[in-house]
Structure 1
Amino acid sequence: MSLISHFADESLTEFLRRSNYWASKNRNAYPVKIHKAISELYDVIDCPCDNDCECKKYGCSTHLVRKPGITFDDYYDYFLKCYVDSKAHAALYQGVKDGRGKNSVPATDEIRNNWSAISNVRSKKHLLCSNWCEQLHREMAQFRPNSNTIYRAKWLSLLCFDSFTAYDYASVGLMRRDFNRPSTYLELMKRIRKDIMIHLDNTGGTLQDFRNYDNPSEFFREVPSDSPKPIGNIIDKIYLTL
């Protein structure tokens, strides 16, 4: 099974429009936080791939790459802003392990304890590239996608916005259903990757066409129309509307 390849571009655009609309009613204004995170944590570069890379088949022209010198604290600040309700921030900054967002603490500790190795890997690839997943990220993505690993997925998404997707308690169940219950998060992303490619093959669209399905600036004036639209965030937003 799959989901993306079964829908036309107009349908996916409408899913994302609905997602942005409902986000505009949420006090956390997550699309604004995502835009700011991308601006602060990533550079946009020309596609560095050679013509043999699969991304070229879809007219790829730009990639996101993490800025050099970004610290764990920089990332943690945006992790909370992008993925944890604002009412829980103060407690989580103090490492409180109960209440809202408590499951983010062990996931965050894992990232903090391995930050030296993580910060040394600045991938210049994205999900549609031939060799899209760095070895370190491959190892980090061996967990089972379920309600217990929500914050591990969110951390990987923030670290590689264009290669991994976040999920929540409801959407992970839908992803598991649509992609034949993958045993690992890495396998889930492989199946999502294939589904996106089938969709683009069916529609004749480019990667930029796929990115342009998402238009958060319609509901959030703070988000410029040319703000980067990471693949992982698009998948997350589609599933938040289902």
Structure 2
Amino acid sequence: MDDEITQQWMTERIGESNKQAAKNRNKYPIQEHATRTELWEYVDCTCDESCTCKKDLGCTGHWKLKKNVQFDDFMFGFLRMFVDRCDHLNVITAVDAGDPSNLRPRVRDAYTVLRNLKGEWKTLSEKSANYNKTLFCDGWFDSYFKEKFESFKIKESVYFAKQFCILLPDICAPYDTKSRDKMTSHLKIPRNANYFEFLSEVRVNFLSAFKKQGIRLPVIRALDSPGKDLPFDPRLISLRQPAQDYGKNYLPAKGQISLVLDKCFYLPTEKPTDEKQSNSK
């Protein structure tokens, strides 16, 4: 399958994904920019010269969770990227109260993930903020995260993967039900795979393609450039934080690996049914 993964193929798929997202009322590329600005930082690659990310892909830096991110800030970033804006305040209220009874069924899994995260936020956020790796690094996982990734199967709620996309933005690819089906079919991944097995197969396929074609990581990151189809407008940011400076334009084209891989398979609809959520997402 790696022969089908080319720079041209990725460029076309990511471009179409962003083009469709521009028509969706949630304006997801703008929400991604807001979450990137609030929660993530681009830091120097600290891997050895022998690490695959440097040796084969020319890596110079990684995206990671900032230190001391508060749970509420994480929750806002998670919701704006993965839950329809009409449900944001209801989910926040439910998580704070520990009562999902007033939520629509389609977002109750998001509540469950957020509620569980709240209970372990200190440890999980600290470990995530201190983990400076990408999916294409030799040490892309440790025992702590491997156990987390093995704890759920990809056929379960899509929100399990989405939480890790926010925590580890250069490692963990998110998906909705439709893009998950496309990925498992295209990459020949068993539907019964756990998330660690899923990420391992995604890594093997894309890394093999990049090596064969000499595609470098800075080029891969630059493929996610939504400004052509959706000009940046900070007024469209959901759950906007008054003290945060979101800038006047998208950040330079250094996309997160998680979103670059996701957009190769994710195609939003013009109407925000559940496509970014669970296609039930």
TM-score (norm 2): 0.80
3-state SS in 1 of match to 2:196: helix
CA distance in 2, matches of 1:83, 1:12: 22
Alignment check: 8 A CA contact 1:35 1:227 kept:
no
Q: Which amino acid aligns with 1:144?
A: K
In the alignment, is residue 224 of structure 1 matched against residue 223 of structure 2? no
Quote the residue 2:17 is aligned against: 19
Quote the residue 2:124 is aligned against: 118
- Match for 2:137 among 129, 135, 138? 129
Q: Which amino acid aligns with 2:142?
A: E
Deviation of 1:205 after TM superposition, in Å, equals 1.2
TM-score (norm 1): 0.93
CA distance in 1, matches of 2:66, 2:8: 34
In the alignment, is residue 189 of structure 1 matched against residue 199 of structure 2? yes
3-state SS in 1 of match to 2:161: helix
CA distance in 1, matches of 2:154, 2:62: 26
Alignment check: 8 A CA contact 2:64 2:170 kept:
no
Q: Which amino acid aligns with 1:78?
A: G
Give matches, 1:104-183, under 5 Å: 104-121=110-127, 122=129, 123-142=131-150, 143-146=152-155, 148-177=156-185, 178-181=187-190, 183=193
Deviation of 1:137 after TM superposition, in Å, equals 2.0
Write the deviation string for residues 53-95 of structure 1: whole angstroms up to 9, x where unpaired: 1111210011112211111111001100010000111211121
Deviation of 1:134 after TM superposition, in Å, equals 3.3
Q: Which amino acid aligns with 1:15?
A: R
In the alignment, is residue 37 of structure 1 matched against residue 47 of structure 2? no
3-state SS in 2 of match to 1:60: coil
Structure 2 unpaired stretches of 5+: 95-99, 233-248, 269-281
Quote the residue 2:61 is aligned against: 62
Detail structure 1 runs of 4+ shifted over 4 Å in the superposition: none
Number of equivalences = 239
Alignment check: 8 A CA contact 1:126 1:162 kept:
yes
Quote the residue 2:218 is aligned against: 208
With 218-227 and 231-240 compared, the bigger mean Cα shift is at: 218-227
Quote the residue 1:47 is aligned against: 45
Quote the residue 2:267 is aligned against: 241
- Match for 1:198 among 208, 215, 232? 208
Deviation of 1:187 after TM superposition, in Å, equals 0.8
CA distance in 2, matches of 1:119, 1:240: 27
CA distance in 1, matches of 2:184, 2:30: 28
Alignment check: 8 A CA contact 1:5 1:196 kept:
no
State the superposition RMSD in angstroms: 1.7
Quote the residue 2:242 is aligned against: none
Alignment check: 8 A CA contact 2:218 2:254 kept:
no
Quote the residue 2:5 is aligned against: 7
3-state SS in 1 of match to 2:107: coil
**CA 1:196/1:89 → structure 2, altered by over 3 Å: closer, same or farther?**
same
**CA 1:154/1:17 → structure 2, altered by over 3 Å: closer, same or farther?**
same
Q: Which amino acid aligns with 2:141?
A: C
Deviation of 1:40 after TM superposition, in Å, equals 1.3
